[in-house]
Structure 1
Amino acid sequence: MLCRIRFGGTCVPRIVFDQVAKSYGAVEVLPPFDLALDDGEFTVLVGPSGCGKSTTLRMLAGLETLSGGEIYFDDRPISKLDPKERDLAMVFQDYALYPHMNIAKNMSFALRLARVPKPEIEEKVQRVAGMLNIAHLLDRKPAELSGGQRQRVAMGRALVRDAGTFLFDEPLSNLDAKLRGKMRAELAEMRDTIDKNMVYVTHDQVEAMTLGDRIVVMSDGFIQQQGSPEELFKSPANKFVAGFIGSPTMNFVDGDLVEESGAIWVRGDGFHLPLDSQMAARVKTAPDKSITLGVRPSSFTTDLTQGAPIELRVVVSEYLGAQSVLVTRCGGVDVLVETQSAAPVKAGITQTFGVLTNELMIFDKTSGLRL
C-alpha cells in the first residue's frame, strides 16, 4: 500500500479563490469566479488555449496581479504577498534549468540561496533524486540529459523545497507522445505518494483524466464544470464538457424529440432512436423539442442483440491495435464509432450498429446545457 508523505511537516493549506477576476485594461479575461481546492488534492485546470487556465495558475503563483477578489490559503489572504512568500514551488513548461550547473546544483539552487545547511541540502537532493530515479545523473549537466530526464530535474527542484503547494504549467507538452505517457504515469505515482497540494494546467484531457483528483474544465474564462474524472465523463453539465472530456470525442447530431406509442424517441437525419425510461422522463417536459443528441464512440456495438439499430456508412477505418476507430457518416454528419479490432470493419460499406440507448445524452440546442 502506498503511503502519503508530508515532507518536513510542511503546512498544506486549503486554497480558496473568492470572486477572483482578471482584466487587461477593458478586456475581461476572467470574470469573477469562486473555486475551493482541498488540502492534499491534485487539481487539474483543463481547457483549450485562451480559456484562462494559465492566468489562474499565474495569479495563484503571484506572477499576475488580481483585478478583483482574493485568494486565501486557509483563512489567510495571499494576493498581496510576493511569490517567494507564498510557500509555492512551480514547474514550468520549458524546464528553466541552469546550463552551467550540474543537476545537483540545479536542484539545490533555491535551498542554497536560502542558506539551508549543507548536510540538509544533500539529504533532500538525494532523497528526491532517488524518488525520481535521477540519483545517477546528479553530476551531469542539463545538456547531457534527455527531455524526460530534464523534466524530472525540474520537478525535483520543486520537490526539494518542501513547499506546501506545487504548480505545474503544462510540464509535459514539450515531450514526444511515448515519453509523455511515461511521465504521466510517473506523475500519477508521485501524486499518490506525496501529501502536497498540486495544481496542474494542461490542454490535454487525457492528462487531466489520468492525473486529477479534481478536474476544473474552463472555456472562455468561465468554469464550465468541476468534479472527479468519472463525474465529468458520466455526468457532463453541458455540451462543451461532454465534447472536451473523453477520447475519442463525443459525437453530436441534431434531432427532434417525438412521442410515439407512449415512448420518447429522438429522430434526425439518418437515425431514429428510442430513449430509455429514465431519460424520457427527464426530457418529456422540455419546452424545445429540437435538441442535440450526444453519443460517445464507445456507445456503439456490433452486437445487434444490444441497443437500438442504426445504419452508418463507414468512411475511414483506423486500426489502433486492440481497438479500431471508424469514421462513419450519419446523414451529413461524421460520427466516430469505437469497435474491437477482432471484428474488423472495412471502409466503404454500410453497416448496422447497435446504440446503447441508456448512454445517450440530450443537450439543449441553444444553451448547450444537458437535459
Structure 2
Amino acid sequence: MPTIEFSQVEKSFGPVRVLPPMDLTLDDGEFTVLVGPSGCGKSTTLRILAGLETLSGGEIYFDGKPISGLAPKERDLAMVFQDYALYPHMNIAKNMSFALRLKGTPKAEIDAKVKRVADMLNIGQLLERKPAQLSGGQRQRVAMGRALVRDASTFLFDEPLSNLDAKLRAKMRTELAEMRNTLDKNMVYVTHDQIEAMTLGDRIVVMSEGLIQQQGTPEELFKTPANKFVAGFIGSPTMNFLDAELVEEKSRLHAKGPGFDIRLTGDLAKRLRGGKAKDITLGIRPSSFSLDKKAGEPLELRIVVAEYLGAQSTLVTRCADAEVLVEHESSSPISSNTTMKFYVLMDEVMAFDQQSGVRL
C-alpha cells in the first residue's frame, strides 16, 4: 500500500475556491476519515484523489511518485459511492465482477473473488438477484463488494451510509469496523457524521471551509481540540459554549456572563491568568455536570425539555438565553420547567478565544 501525500493541493470551480492549498499525508495501512459539515471540501478531496476531479494546483504523490497525470483506472484505487451506482440490468454477481471482466480476468479467478467477498459481506445468497430486489443495506454491501473484489491498494468511501436508516447505519458501521480489521489496505472514508468518524477512524481529519482544522486520533480530538469548531463538532451530544468575561476578585479568577458566575480553578485558571485574553468562551461537555455539590462549581439552569434516551437522558436547559445540554441518569428523572443547580466539573472545562476560536 502506498503512502499518499497531498502537497499544496488546491481546487477551484471557476472563480470559487473550494480547497485552498492543502498539505496532508495518509499513512500506509491507515483508516483515515475526512469529516466536516456539508460544503467543507471533504468529498472534493476524495474525488481529486480518485482522479474524478482535476487539480487546480499542487500535486498528489503515491510513495513519492506524482499521480495527478494518471487516469482513475491507473491509480490502483477502488471507490464506494453514496448512491451505490449499481447497474440495474445486471445481477449482483455481474455488478461485483464488472471491473474484473473489463480487465479480462479469467472467469475462474472472478468467480473465486466474488464468492470470497460476497461471503465476507454476507451477501452470498443474493448473487443471482437484481439490485431492485435488494434492500438499501444489501445494495450498500454490493457496492462495497464491487470495490473489494478489485483488490486495490486503497479503498475510498464517499459517505456510503448516509442513505440508510439509523438502525441499519449502526449495523453497517459495525460491519465496516470488522471488515477493516480483516483487510490490510489503505482506507479513506468521507462522512459528515462524527459518530462514524469516531468509531471507524484510526485518524480523523476535521475540515471546515476547505481548511484542515485538526487531525489526530478520536481520543485526541475529543480531549484536546485545537479550536472551538473541532470541540463543537466532535462529541455527542455537542459541547456547550458560554461567552464570558474574565474577572479577578480577591485573587480568584471568575468567568462571568449572562446568568452565571463560575470560579475557575486548577490548570484552566493558571493558563487563563497568564494569558492576554479577557473575553473567552467556556466549553462544557454535557457529561461534565453533576448534582453533587462537592464535584465542582455551581451553575443554575432552567430545564426546558428532558429527552429520555434509555439509561441516559439529555436535558435541554437554559442559562439566560444560552441553550445548555446536560447528560443525566434516567433513573433519577427531572421534570421540565424547573430550575436546578448543577455543578460543573472544572477539570473537564475548556476555554476558547472569542475572536479566533483557538483553545486557550
TM-score range, shorter chain: over 0.9
1:26 positional shift = 2.1
Match of 1:352 in 2: 341
- TM-score normalized by structure 1? 0.95
1:13 positional shift = 0.6
Distance 2:245 2:314 in 1: 27
1:260 positional shift = 2.9
Aligned: 1:187 with 2:147: no
Aligned: 1:311 with 2:290: no
Match of 1:5 in 2: none
Matches within 5 A, 1:1-371: 12-371=1-360
Match of 1:8 in 2: none
Deviates more, 1:25-34 or 1:224-233: 25-34
1:248-283 deviations in whole A, cap 9, x for unaligned? 111111111122333322122222222232112211
> Does the CA-based 8 Å contact 1:254-1:293 persist in structure 2?
yes
The gaps in structure 1 that reach 5 residues or longer are 1-11
**SS in structure 2 of the partner of residue 17 of structure 1:** strand
1:184 positional shift = 0.8
1:90-118 deviations in whole A, cap 9, x for unaligned? 00011011111111111111101111111
Q: What letter matches 2:90 in structure 1? A: M
1:298-317 deviations in whole A, cap 9, x for unaligned? 11112223121211110111
Q: What RMSD, in angstroms, separates the aligned Cα atoms of the two structures?
A: 1.0
> Does the CA-based 8 Å contact 1:29-1:52 persist in structure 2?
yes
Distance 1:331 1:97 in 2: 52
Distance 1:136 1:264 in 2: 66
Distance 2:314 2:16 in 1: 42
1:243 positional shift = 0.5
1:32 positional shift = 0.4
Deviates more, 1:298-307 or 1:313-322: 298-307
> Does the CA-based 8 Å contact 2:33-2:188 persist in structure 1?
yes
Distance 2:221 2:313 in 1: 24
Distance 1:323 1:297 in 2: 11
1:35-67 deviations in whole A, cap 9, x for unaligned? 001011111111111110011000000001111
Deviates more, 1:274-283 or 1:240-249: 274-283
Distance 1:116 1:275 in 2: 67
**SS in structure 2 of the partner of residue 153 of structure 1:** helix
Distance 2:80 2:172 in 1: 14
> Does the CA-based 8 Å contact 1:275-1:358 persist in structure 2?
no
Over the matched positions of the two proteins, sequence identity in percent amounts to 73
